[in-house]
Amino acid sequence: MTATRADALENRKLVLRAAAQLFAAEGLDVPLGRVAQRAGVGAGTVYRHFPSKTVLVEAVFAQHLDDLVSAADRWAAQATPDDALFGFLFEVIEKCARGKHLCDALVADRSWPHATFAAAARRFGEALDRLLHNAKHAGSVDVNLRVDDLNALIAGGATLRSAHPSPARGTRLVWQVLDSLRRPGVTKGVGLRDAEHPETCAACGSPLRVKKAGRPAVYCSPACRQRARRRRLMN
């Protein structure tokens, strides 16, 4: 790969990241000039990669879903089938709650899905279906549970999480809803130690190592702690 090509790919990533942050925080009316400023590139760079606002918005939506697909694969590789399903659902709900402007815009605009977003949505649905299939095969959830049930649960859970005045209590309620889907007798692995500290990393959603003493962990690594700090500073 040439240096020019590598620079172009890096600039595209910077623009996507900046747009996702601004759209999630403020909605889709953010002008492209602010996106360029946040990304640290010129306006011409934004337009070279994304000729219109619609193209940029679709790319942000698609990247968000592809990131979730990667998260689903990570959960499948690192956790038991039931913990993988419920840990992933919680991660998706948390990310949707933080990016409520994006989720609301997607639901409100009936012109979606466009081709790029539709392909990403299909990949997300397939990843969710794999986790659900594994959990059913392990006997962790009802065999009649469907992907569209889980999509509705994600939407409702995100609304609950973002609407509750107490983040800790909102988190607890979300986990209680998720845990209600487990079949009786299934041991709860990923869950809450207390209202403020779910057993998943607050930055990436990975399972946390349970500490025998001291304050419960919030992040799985120093890198995730720094990532969360940068996110707070930028928003």
- 124: CATH: 1.10.357.10
Same-domain pairing of 29 and 104: no
Could you write out the three-class secondary structure of 79-112? CCHHHHHHHHHHHHHHHHHHCHHHHHHHHHCCCC
Q: Are residues 39 and 148 in the same domain?
A: no
Q: Which residues contact 11 (CB under 8 A, 6 or more apart)?
A: 39, 41, 45, 49
- CB proximity list for 180: less than 8 A, separation 6 or greater: none
pTM above 0.75, yes or no: no
Domains: count for the chain = 2
Q: Which of 177, 193, 209 is the last residue of a domain?
A: 193
Residue 226: inside a domain: no
125, 155: one domain: yes
Pair 91, 207: CB distance under 8 Å: no
Task: Kindly state whether residues 168 and 64 are assigned to the same domain.
Answer: yes
Q: For residue 235, what pLDDT band results from cuts at 50, 70 and 90?
A: very low
Query: Residue 101: inside a domain, yes or no?
Result: yes
**Claim to verify: residue 3 and residue 106 sit in the same structural domain:** no
What is the band of 29 on the pLDDT scale with cuts at 50, 70, 90? confident
142 lies in the same domain as 37: no
Does the residue 228 lie in any domain? no
Among candidate residues 89, 10, 15, the one with its CA nearest the CA of residue 55:
15
Per-residue pLDDT tens over the stretch 54-113: 899 889 989 989 999 999 999 999 999 999 999 999 999 988 888 776 666 666 665 655
Quick one: pLDDT at residue 203? 58
Distance (Å, whole) CA 23 – CA 180: 33
Number of helices and strands (H, E) in the chain?
10, 2
Residues 23 and 97 in one domain: no
CA–CA dist 38, 26 (Å, integer):
13
Indicate whether 31 and 75 sit together in one domain. no
Are 148 and 34 in a shared domain? no
Q: What's residue 114's pLDDT?
A: 76
User: What burial letters (b/e) apply to 182-209, b meaning 16+ CB within 10 Å?
Assistant: beeebeebbbbeeeebbbbbbbbbbbbe
Query: Per residue in 182-227, pLDDT tens?
Result: 887 555 555 443 333 445 666 565 656 544 434 446 667 777 666 6
| pLDDT digits 0-9 by tens, 127-174 | 999 999 999 999 999 999 999 999 999 989 988 888 888 888 888 999
Structural domain boundaries, residue 22: 1-51
> CA-CA distance, 176 to 194, in Å (whole number)?
12
CA distance 193 to 178: 15
| Pairwise pLDDT comparison (198 vs 19), residue with the higher score | 19
